[in-house]
Every structure is written in C-alpha cells, then in structure tokens.
C-alpha cells in the first residue's frame, strides 16, 4: 500500500500521515485516563517508552514477528499502567500528576542505563515494519473499540468518576477498579503507539520519550477536548501538523506554537470539541431557522 501511495504522495507527507496516526493512538490512550476518567497523567511518554523499547529489543535480539513485538510492547506498558494505577486510588489532581511525572522519569533514567537498550546512545537498526497501511488499520480499530468502550456501561462510569466520585460510588461504581482499568487501557495504547513509533523511526533514544513528549500528548487531549474522541483526533492532527507548518517562521517556531496553544485555550477553554455535541448543534441550527 505504501509503495502504491508513494507514486502519488511525497514521502514527506506520508511520513506526517504516519506520525499523525501514531499520535492519534497515543492521544486516545491518554484521553481514556485523563480526558474521560479525569485522572491527570503527565507521564504518558513513559508508557510509550516501555512499548518502544520492549518491542525494539524483541525485534532486534529475538527476531520476533512484528505483530508479536507490538503486542508485547503494549502488554508490558499495560502492566506498568496497572501498577501506576494503584497509587492513583489515594491521589488526585496535582499529586497524581507528580507521581506520573516521576514514573516517566524513572523509566527514562532506567533506559539511560539499560545495557540491552543501548544506554544513552539508544537502539538503532530497528526493522521499519510500521507502514502507513498498518497504522491506518490500527487507528481504525482503536477508534472503533474506543467508541464502543466510551458508550458502554464502563465508559459511562469512567465519565461519572471524572464528574463526581462520591456520586459515582453511590451509584454502585467501584471507583478503585474503574480507575485502575482506565490507567491500564491508557497505558496499553501508549505502549502500542510507542512500539509503532520505534518500528517507524529505525532508531530510539531515551530522550525521545522525555517530559516534553508527555506534555505534547496531554496538549492534544486538552486542545481537542477532554473525553471526546473526535476532539482528541483533531488535537492530534493539529499538533502534529502545526510544527511542520510553522517551519516557515524558522527559529520562532516554538514561540508561535506556544502562542497558538494560549490562544486556543482562551477562545475554546473546553477544547475544540470538548463540549460540542450533535444534539446541541442541531438545536442551535433549528433555533436559527426559527429566528430567520
């Protein structure tokens, strides 16, 4: 599929499309933890890193098939998501953010000193198995399952926890279980995204998954709209493209990038699609018609 597309699309654009796809998967994972369940996680890059290194080592050292490397990467990340989910039962907001930042830093420093992971030099020569076709397929699957989950009984109870924990408990929601579940699913997708990333880039280093990467992913969720699948996808697309478009302004790139975020938050404090629903749109549209 990629070879076919290459005839029509510049490889540079194809690369951006692949990165958008990977970022959508990563951001949708974080959206479940932070956007839907309301548990502020600032260490999503840590899960990404675990997925990337696990899969890369499996591919390089054990010549594991690509799908097995992806799955193992995601599962290892999910396991750590489960572990990190446990302290969240006692912590909220800022405190939880500190724990997740700390976790991601531990992961980074661990790989910085991890012999099979190539220490600070990182791993190179990872087979480039991630193709546009595979990313597209996985994005569709992830969106589909995500939508199913959020519309289900468990998804509703996740939103309920974000809105009011005490009321959720009074409705019989076991908030302990649901929070850990949200962290585990979020981490699973983080690991999957990381594994795809590693097999696209040939080469990974611990600093690819540093604090700024976590913030970047968090920005996608917040910018798009907490808890909204279309919003998160839009956020991932915009924030992947923005740095590329801003290449025109060269060294002022980061400045414009920051300003863009500030402006969006001023005019859309709930994110681009955070509180937009088809129902409201239809209502507004009908009111307009009556008015005219």
Partner 1 sequence: MLELKHISQEFGGLRALDEVNLIVNEGQIYGLIGPNGAGKTTLFNIITGIYQPTEGGVYFQGQKIDGNPPHQVARMGIGRTFQNIRLFAKLSVLDNVRVGSHAVTQAGLFGSILGLPVVRREEKQILHKSQTLLEMVGLQDKRWEYAENLSYGEQRRLEIARALALQPTLLLLDEPAAGMNATEKQELMSLIYYIQKEMKLTILLVEHDMNLVMSICERIAVLDYGRKIADGSPEQIKNDERVIQSYLGAPA
Residues that bind partner 1 (CB under 8 A): 145, 148-149, 152-157, 159-160, 163-164, 166-175, 181, 227, 275, 277, 279
Query: Any residues with CB less than 8 A from the CB of 42 and at least 6 apart, and which?
Result: 97, 100, 101, 104, 211, 214, 215, 218
Separation CA 51–CA 78 (nearest Å): 9
Smallest gap from residue 187 Cβ to partner 1 (A): 14
Q: Which residue, 154 or 215, is less far from partner 1 as judged by CB? A: 154
Q: What is the dihedral of CA 180, 44, 13, 125, to 10 degrees?
A: -110
Q: Which residue, 105 or 169, is less far from partner 1 as judged by CB? A: 169
Smallest gap from residue 156 Cβ to partner 1 (A): 5
Helix (H, G, I), strand (E, B) or coil at 123: strand
Q: Which residue, 72 or 226, is less far from partner 1 as judged by CB? A: 226
Smallest gap from residue 256 Cβ to partner 1 (A): 31
Distances (CA, A) of 144 to 93, 151, 229, 237: 29, 11, 10, 18
Smallest gap from residue 111 Cβ to partner 1 (A): 30
For the beta carbon of residue 140, count every other beta carbon within 10 angstroms. Answer: 11
| Contact (Cβ atoms closer than 8 angstroms) between residue 36 and residue 155 | yes
Smallest gap from residue 228 Cβ to partner 1 (A): 11
Q: Which residue, 126 or 142, is less far from partner 1 as judged by CB? A: 142
Smallest gap from residue 179 Cβ to partner 1 (A): 12
Q: Which residue, 4 or 145, is less far from partner 1 as judged by CB? A: 145
Q: Which residue, 54 or 184, is less far from partner 1 as judged by CB? A: 184
The per-residue DSSP string of 224-247 comes to: H-TT-HHHHHHHHHHHHHHHHHGG
Find the helix packing angle between 66-85 and 44-62, rounded to 10°.
150
């Amino acid at each position: 599929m990629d070879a076919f597309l290459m005839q029509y699309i510049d490889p540079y654009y194809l690369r951006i499309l692949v990165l958008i796809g990977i970022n959508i998967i990563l951001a949708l994972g974080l959206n479940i933890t932070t956007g839907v369940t309301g548990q502020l996680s600032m260490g999503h890059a840590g899960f990404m890193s675990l997925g990337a290194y696990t899969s890369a080592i499996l591919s390089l050292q054990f010549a594991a098939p690509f799908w097995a490397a992806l799955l193992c990467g995601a599962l290892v990340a999910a396991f750590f998501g489960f572990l990190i989910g446990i302290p969240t039962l006692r912590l909220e907001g800022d405190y939880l953010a500190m724990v997740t930042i700390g976790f991601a830093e531990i992961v980074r420093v661990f790989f910085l000193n991890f012999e099979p992971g190539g220490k600070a030099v990182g791993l190179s020569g990872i087979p480039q198995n991630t193709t546009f076709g595979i990313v597209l397929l996985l994005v569709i699957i992830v969106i589909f399952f995500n939508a199913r989950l959020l519309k289900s009984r468990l998804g509703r109870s996740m939103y309920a926890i974000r809105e009011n924990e005490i009321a959720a408990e009074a409705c019989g929601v076991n908030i302990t279980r649901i929070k850990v579940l949200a962290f585990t699913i979020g981490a699973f997708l983080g690991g999957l995204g990381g594994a795809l990333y590693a097999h696209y880039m040939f080469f990974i280093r611990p600093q690819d998954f540093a604090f700024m990467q976590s913030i970047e992913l968090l920005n996608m969720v917040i910018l798009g709209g907490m808890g909204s699948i279309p919003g998160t996808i839009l956020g991932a697309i915009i924030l992947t493209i923005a740095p590329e478009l801003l290449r025109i302004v060269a060294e002022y790139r980061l400045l414009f990038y920051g300003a863009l975020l500030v402006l969006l938050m001023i005019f859309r404090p709930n994110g681009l699609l955070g509180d937009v629903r088809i129902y409201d749109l239809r209502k507004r549209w009908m009111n307009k018609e009556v008015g005219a």
